Amino acid sequence: MSTTETKTGKAYMGVADAHGIESFLPSKEKEDKRGFLLLRAATNRQRHAVFYEIELDEKQAASVQEEIDKDDYVAALHVIKAAAAAAGEITLDGGGDVLGSFELIPNPKIDPWG
């Protein structure tokens, strides 16, 4: 997925896990954070952490940010998952079965550390 602005939206990246969205950053502006986010996802696989990158339109991005601002990280991840399902495109990374983990999250009950 491109990390630049396109006709339909803008690329965002971050980490999601059993508790929802952990981070949500514009890819183009935060390219220097990619390595850190990948490492964070890889070292927290026990919580089914995954690095994601997705293109969102302004309304979708605003919805994600609104849920984050309300501290509803689970709802924020649901917005991203709905956008991925509608577009049929999301980039996942972080080592291991990230697709399987992405399908399981958000679900705080699968976090072995509670």
Q: Per-10-residue mean pLDDT for the chain, 114 residues long? A: 54 97 90 92 96 96 98 98 93 94 96 83
Structure tokens at 16: 């999601």
Rg (CA), the chain: 13
Q: 114 lies in a domain?
A: no
Q: 5 lies in a domain?
A: no
Q: How far apart are CA 67 and CA 79, in angstroms?
A: 9
Q: 113 lies in a domain?
A: no
Backbone angles phi, psi at 13, to 5 degrees: -140, 165
Give the Å distances, CA to CA, from 16 to 52, 71, 84, 91, 102.
7, 14, 14, 12, 8
State the pTM of this model: 0.88
The residue with tokens 């990246």 is: 13
Q: What's residue 55's pLDDT?
A: 95
Q: What's residue 1's pLDDT?
A: 35
Range of the domain at 64: 10-108
The amino acid at residue 30 is K
Across-strand partners of 92? 52
State how many domains the chain has: 1
Structure tokens at 67: 């849920």
Q: What's residue 51's pLDDT?
A: 97
